[in-house]
Structure 1
Amino acid sequence: MEQDSRSSSWCFPHLNNSCRRLQQPHSSTALLYTLLALVSLLTVALNLLVIVSISYFRQLHTPTNALLQSLAVSDLVVGLLVMPIEGVRYMEMCWLMGRLLCVLTPYVSYCLLSASLGNMVLISIDRYLAICDPLLYSSKVNLSRVRTLICLCWACSLLYNGCILIGHLSQPERYSTCHGECVVVISHTAGTIDLFVTCVGPCTIMIVLYIRVFAIAVSQARAIRLRITSTGSVVTVAKPSEKKAARTLGVVILVFLICFCPYYYPAIAGVETSNNLSYFAILSWIMLLNSCMNPLIYAMFYPWFRKAVKLIITFRIFQPQSREHTF
C-alpha cells in the first residue's frame, strides 16, 4: 500500500529526482479528461468542416476563404495536438511524453500562434483593399497571390520561432529541476522583442486597418443613398457581400485579440515568459480556446458555411456535380 501511495505521488517513482504528481480525486480527473476530450474533438471537427467546405466547393475558392482555410488548418492542429498535450501536462503536473516532444511541442505551439496572427493580419489587409479600394482588389488580388502570401507567412513563422526558441531547442532540459518537467523560458529581452514583433505591431496594424474599413463603409453607405457625388461622378463602392464579410471577420479578429493579448502579460509585466508560471496555464488556455471559437463565429454569421456543413453531414457532397453547388 505504501509503495502504491508513492507511485501515485511521483511522476517517475523509480527515479530519485522525480517531480511530484498532482494529487486530485479520481472523479475530478475523469471529469477534466472528459472535458478536455470534448473540447479537443469539437475544435478538430469544426475546423475540419471549414477546411473541407472551402476545399471542396468551387464557389468558395476565393482569396478571403483561402485565408480562412489557412487559419482553420492552424486551429485544427491546435485541437489535434496542442490541446491534448497541454491538457495532460497541466492536469498531471508531469511531463510524461519524453525529450523529443518536449523539444517539438512548444515550437509547434509558438509556430501555430504566429501563423494564426499572420493570417489575421492578411485578413485585415484583404478586407481593407476589398472595402477601401475595390477596383484595385478585383484586379490585383487573386487566389494564387494569396496562397503565396500564406506560404510565406508559415515559412516566416517557422523561422522566427526557431530563433526565439533556439535555447530551448538546443537544451530542452536546462531549466528543469526534476524528472517530469518540460520548462520553456524566454528571457525578458527576447520576450520584449517578441511582444513588439508578434503582438504590438500586428495588433496595431489590424486595429488601424479595421478602423479605416468601418469608416469607409460608413461613408460608402452615405454615398449609396446619394448615388452620386457632388461632382456628378458615379461612386465606386464595395459589394454588400464584401461589407458583410468585413463585419464578420472584424468579429473574428476582435475575439482573437481578446484571447491573444493576455498571453503576453509576463512580457508586459517585465518578467521572463515561462510555462512554469503559476498563472501561465490560464493565459495559455484562453488563447487555445480561440481555435474552437472561429468556426462557431462562421456558423453564426456565414450562411454559406451553414449550407456547406449541411451538405457535408448529410453526405450530399457525394452526389454528381455537388462541387458546383451555389451558395
Structure 2
Amino acid sequence: PRDLLPEDLPTSIKCVFIVFYTVIMLLSVFGNLFVIIVIAVNVKMRTVTNTFLVSLAVSDLLIAALNMPLQLKYYVQNEWSLGSEMCKFTKYMQGVTIVASILTLSGIAIDRYYAICNPLRARHVHTAQRAMVLISVFWASAFIVLCPQLTIQRIEPLISFDAEGRMRLAYVCVEFIFDARLAVTYTLFHYIVLYLGPVLIMFITYGKISYTLWRRGPIGETPDNQRDLDRRTREKKKIIRMLMVIVGLFALSWFPFFTSQVYLVFHSSYSNPMHGPTGLRIVLALFQLIGYSNCCINPIVYCFLNESFQQRFLTT
C-alpha cells in the first residue's frame, strides 16, 4: 500500500454521530418491531396495504440491526476491522434492503392505483395472497440485482501510524471497479433504475390516484349509500395522504446519499471517499445518516396519520 490512512474524524463529530445513530437505531428497531407485531396480532389490520407495510418494516429493521451498528463502528474507528467478507456482506445487505423498500413502495402505489382507478380489475389482483407473492418477487429481485456488489466491494490496505509513531497496516471497506466507464454505468444504473425512476413513477401514480379520488363526486341512489360512500372516500384519502408522505420522506431521505454517489463517480480523485478531505468525509457520512434516518420515520408517520394504527398502538 502507498496511501496513508486519513486522520480521524474530529471527536466532536464522532460524538454527534454516536448520539444520532443510537437514537435512530433504537427508534427503528422498536418502532418497526411494533408495526410488525400490531399487524400480526390484529386480524382486522391484515389488509393488502398493511402486508406491504410489513415488508417495509422488515427492510428498515434489517438496516437498523445489521448495517447501522457496523457503519457507526467504521466511522468511530476510522478503519474496517471486520474482514473482507463482512465488508461485502454489509454493503450488499444495505443495497438489498433499500431496493426491496423501493420495490415495495412501488407495489403499494400500483395496488392503490388499481383499487381506486380501476376497481373492477382490482377485485382479481387486490388480494393478500398476491401481495405476498409480489413481496417475495421484490425481495428475490433485490437479492439478485445487487449480486455485483459482492464482487466489487473489497477491503483496501492503507498505511497508518500508532501513537508511538510505529507503522502498521489499516484497512478500509471500499467499492472498486477497475474500469472508469463501467463504474459510471453501474452507478447511473443504480441511481436511475433503482432510485430515481421508481420514485418518479410513484409520484406520477399517486398524482393520478389523487386526481381520480378528489375529483370523483359521491355517487349513490339513497342518502344511506351516499353517506357510506362519503365515509369510504374519506378513509381512502387519508390512506393515500399517508402513503404519499411515506414515499416523499423516503425519496428525500435517500436523495443526498444517491446523488453523492453519482458526484463521486464523476470525480475520480474522490472515487474512494476515505481518500478525500475530512470535510468531504463528514458530508458523506451525514448523507448516509440522513438516509438511515428514514428507517425510524414510518412508524411515526403511522401513529400520526393512520387512525387504525393509533388505536392498535394503544391497545396492543
TM-score range for the pair, normalised by the shorter chain length: 0.7 to 0.9
8 Å CA contact retained: 2:103, 2:138: yes
TM-fit CA distance, 1:93: 1.6
Q: 1:184 to 1:275 in 2, by over 3 A?
A: farther
- State the alpha-carbon separation in 2 of the partners of residues 130 and 146 from structure 1: 13
- State the alpha-carbon separation in 2 of the partners of residues 191 and 158 from structure 1: 17
Counterpart in the other structure of 1:306: 310
- State the alpha-carbon separation in 2 of the partners of residues 301 and 150 from structure 1: 24
Counterpart in the other structure of 1:168: 152
Identity of aligned residues (%): 25
- State the alpha-carbon separation in 2 of the partners of residues 267 and 181 from structure 1: 17
Note if 1:143 corresponds to 2:124: no
Alignment of 1:79-158 (within 5 A): 79-158=64-143
Consecutive unaligned residues of structure 1, counting only runs of 5 or more, are: 1-15, 229-235, 313-327
Note if 1:251 corresponds to 2:255: no
Give the aligned residue type for 2:314.
K
Give the aligned residue type for 2:134.
L
SS of 1:263's equivalent?
Answer: helix
- State the alpha-carbon separation in 2 of the partners of residues 17 and 158 from structure 1: 33
Counterpart in the other structure of 2:184: 188
8 Å CA contact retained: 2:4, 2:158: no
Higher strand share: 2
Q: 1:293 to 1:275 in 2, by over 3 A?
A: farther
- State the alpha-carbon separation in 2 of the partners of residues 46 and 302 from structure 1: 15
Note if 1:177 corresponds to 2:158: yes
Deviation per residue, 1:156-191 (Å, 9 max, x gap):
00000103x14325xx13x54352311124611211
Consecutive unaligned residues of structure 2, counting only runs of 5 or more, are: 160-169, 178-182, 222-228
Alignment of 1:305-324 (within 5 A): 305-312=309-316
Q: 1:106 to 1:206 in 2, by over 3 A?
A: same
- State the alpha-carbon separation in 2 of the partners of residues 142 and 274 from structure 1: 46
Counterpart in the other structure of 2:208: 212
8 Å CA contact retained: 2:89, 2:150: no
- State the alpha-carbon separation in 2 of the partners of residues 205 and 182 from structure 1: 33
Relative to the length of structure 1, the TM-score reads 0.78
8 Å CA contact retained: 2:213, 2:233: no
1:265 to 259, 263, 266: 259
Per mean C-alpha deviation after superposition, the further-off stretch among 153-162 and 236-245 is 236-245
8 Å CA contact retained: 1:184, 1:275: no
Give the aligned residue type for 2:46.
H
- State the alpha-carbon separation in 1 of the partners of residues 198 and 15 from structure 2: 40
Counterpart in the other structure of 1:316: none
Give the aligned residue type for 1:205.
I
Give the aligned residue type for 1:86.
Q
SS of 1:182's equivalent?
Answer: strand
Q: 1:115 to 1:28 in 2, by over 3 A?
A: closer
Q: 1:48 to 1:188 in 2, by over 3 A?
A: same
Aligned residue pairs total 283
1:57 to 28, 42, 45: 42
TM-fit CA distance, 1:100: 2.1
8 Å CA contact retained: 2:92, 2:150: no
Give the aligned residue type for 1:207.
F
- State the alpha-carbon separation in 1 of the partners of residues 258 and 102 from structure 2: 13
Give the aligned residue type for 1:168.
I
1:201 to 197, 202, 205: 197
Counterpart in the other structure of 2:290: 286
TM-fit CA distance, 1:83: 1.4
Relative to the length of structure 2, the TM-score reads 0.81
Give the aligned residue type for 1:64.
T
TM-fit CA distance, 1:19: 3.6
- State the alpha-carbon separation in 2 of the partners of residues 129 and 149 from structure 1: 15
Q: 1:203 to 1:57 in 2, by over 3 A?
A: same
Deviation per residue, 1:94-150 (Å, 9 max, x gap):
212222211110000010110011111111112211221223223421001010000
Give the aligned residue type for 1:112.
T
TM-fit CA distance, 1:92: 2.6
8 Å CA contact retained: 1:18, 1:180: no
